Amino acid sequence: MKDQKFKISGKIVDVISREIIQGEIEVVDGYIKSIVPKQDVPNRYIVPGLVDSHMHIESSLLIPSRFAAEAVKCGTLGLVTDPHEIANVLGEIGVDFMINDAKKVPLEIKFGVPSCVPATKHETSGFVLDSNIVESLLKREEVVCLAEVMDFVGVVEEDLEVLKKIVACKKLGKKIDGHAPGLKGTDLKKYVAAGISADHECSTIEEALEKIALGMMIQIREGSAARDFDSLCFLLESHPDKVMLCTDDLHPDDMAENGHIDYLIKKGLNKGYDIFNLLRAASYNPIHHYGLDLGLLQIGDSADFIVVDNLEQFSVMEAYRKGKCILKNGNPSFEVHNEILLNNFSRKPISLTEISVAPKNGKIKVMVAKDGDLITDSILCDPKIENSNLVADVENDLLKMVVMSRYDNGKPVVGFVKGFGFKKGAIAESIAHDSHNIIAIGTSDEELMYAINTLIDLKGGIVAVSNSKSKFVKLEVAGLMSNKTGSKLIQEYSGLSEFASELGSDFESPFMTLAFMSLLVIPKLKLSDKGLFDVDQFKVVDLFANE
């Protein structure tokens, strides 16, 4: 067979030698045969493909192959994704779906095995991944790590089931990712000593430096709900070999507007950070940490790289994978349609009486949500009572929240939240970390019921309602993702977001923020389908305060 050859020239950014070379790259059969200095090259930059070191594809609302077609437009050639969301809904079958769909595209998409499904015993999940299933999944060649070990309490207290998963991963020589917000001191030392080598939950420099001192890699996160880049970007200068970039959870509208990992490169450049440190965090570090099959513009490497216009705007013009051009003029060379659609949704419509709460004496415990932050506060408030029922108090921004199982017809659980700022209507979704039950907030019981029942009729998706009007995005894959093209999904989601913005919230991403109000491993107060949950005490607590 005749060799497949081509040459490409430009300003080559070498993150290993930390220099920019004017030269010509010769590619033969998918590999870089030579790099020759050359004058008068085109005014463009050839740089390594970008890598997202930790993310959940499900948060894009797109299946992996559809997501890949959007990510490559941003210069992303590699992903380390944790299919934790679909695993909670569909178990091992869901993980298989993600891996098989990802194989259809030319990007380097590798997986972590979800370590905590369910995240806690205080919620109803669709499936359980025990240590035996986890060990089996870890043996797959598409898997590079045990994904974020959220049960840091289990690690510190040496829970046998948690340790079995860690030991199985160590035997296979694969990485173990962490998830330990706020963990420090002796407990952190024990957590790291268990073999956990990376963490994406740092929100302060002090927290990151303590973890780095113990040998951890820090994944600087900039997603839709949690944004830590501004707080942690100094690490790019102080510890360039100990940081990676990630998005964790990125909604489709944010990706369409801002980009992916390229957005963090641009942010860093605007702040004056060194391009080599930025690209190292976005390529060399994750490639070496996880052992990804991606080249770094060295002779003998796989020909994996992107072409950008300059190092200010960093606009991606072309992308190459194993020597093949997979993006040109903003158009990917691949398109995939998946006919296999899986779901797990079993719930009957609810009535108003099911979300009514009888009053008691005293105040109620209320979670306080903040834009761009997964951590909630907990305060005490006087409830508003109408017709012997606790209702939303819109004037005081005290909204009613409901979480209910999507897997059975268990009784809905009611709580209250401040911070969202809705003046009317309600929103509901089947994206509710981590078990992905039904979660909703609203300004009245009637609007709440309308939103929830609309969602039940869809068997999964995202819904906003107001004054008998509604907008929604149906998520036919596990109630988490759509098989639509990225452009179609983004169009629908943007229309939904615009409709929801008229409800009064000034949150940048209210749907994403709401989805984390049931995440029981992030402080302080959260709500599950089994009750109001105090994360510090790690137990279900009563809605009413004992005074």
pLDDT tens digits for 207-243? 999 999 999 999 999 988 788 999 999 999 999 999 9
* 3-state secondary structure (DSSP) of residue 171: helix
Q: What is the pLDDT of residue 3?
A: 55
**Cα(24)–Cα(17) distance, rounded to whole angstroms?**
17
Task: Assign domain 50-292 to its CATH superfamily.
Answer: Metal-dependent hydrolases (3.20.20.140)
Q: What is the pLDDT of residue 311?
A: 94
Q: What is the pLDDT of residue 227?
A: 87
**Cα(119)–Cα(152) distance, rounded to whole angstroms?**
11
* Residue 296 scores a pLDDT above 50: yes
How would residue 1 be classed by pLDDT, with cut points 50, 70 and 90?
A: very low
Q: Domain ranges in the chain?
A: 50-292, 352-540
The Cβ of residue 339 has, within 10 Å, a number of other Cβ atoms equal to 5
* Residue 337 scores a pLDDT above 90: no
**Cα(208)–Cα(210) distance, rounded to whole angstroms?**
5
146, amino acid identity:
L
Mean pLDDT of 469-487: 95
Q: What is the pLDDT of residue 442?
A: 98
Q: Answer whether 299's CB lies under 8 Å from 114's CB.
A: no
Strand 243-246 and strand 305-308: the pairing is unpaired
The two structure tokens encoding residue 88: 């909670």
524-547 per-position pLDDT tens digit: 999 999 999 999 898 999 999 975
261-276 per-position pLDDT tens digit: 999 999 999 999 999 9
* 3-state secondary structure (DSSP) of residue 344: coil
How would residue 336 be classed by pLDDT, with cut points 50, 70 and 90?
A: confident
Q: Please give the share of the chain, as a percent, with pLDDT higher than 90.
A: 89
Q: Which residues contact 94 (CB under 8 A, 6 or more apart)?
A: 83, 86, 87, 127, 342, 478
Phi, psi of 157 (to 5 degrees): -90, 10
Mean pLDDT of the chain: 95
Q: Answer whether 30's CB lies under 8 Å from 4's CB.
A: yes
Q: Which residues contact 135 (CB under 8 A, 6 or more apart)?
A: 164, 165, 168
* Residue 164 scores a pLDDT above 60: yes
Cis peptide before 118, with omega less than 30 degrees from 0? yes
* Residue 49 scores a pLDDT above 50: yes
Q: What is the CA radius of gyration of the chain?
A: 24
* Residue 126 scores a pLDDT above 90: yes
**Nearest 10 degrees: Cα torsion 149, 153, 156, 157:** -130
398-409 per-position pLDDT tens digit: 999 999 999 999
Pure H helices in 103-151: 131-138
**Positive or negative: CA dihedral 252, 472, 377, 519:** negative
**By C-alpha distance, which of 95, 90, 131 is closest to 112?**
95
**Cα(232)–Cα(237) distance, rounded to whole angstroms?**
10
**Cα(354)–Cα(245) distance, rounded to whole angstroms?**
44
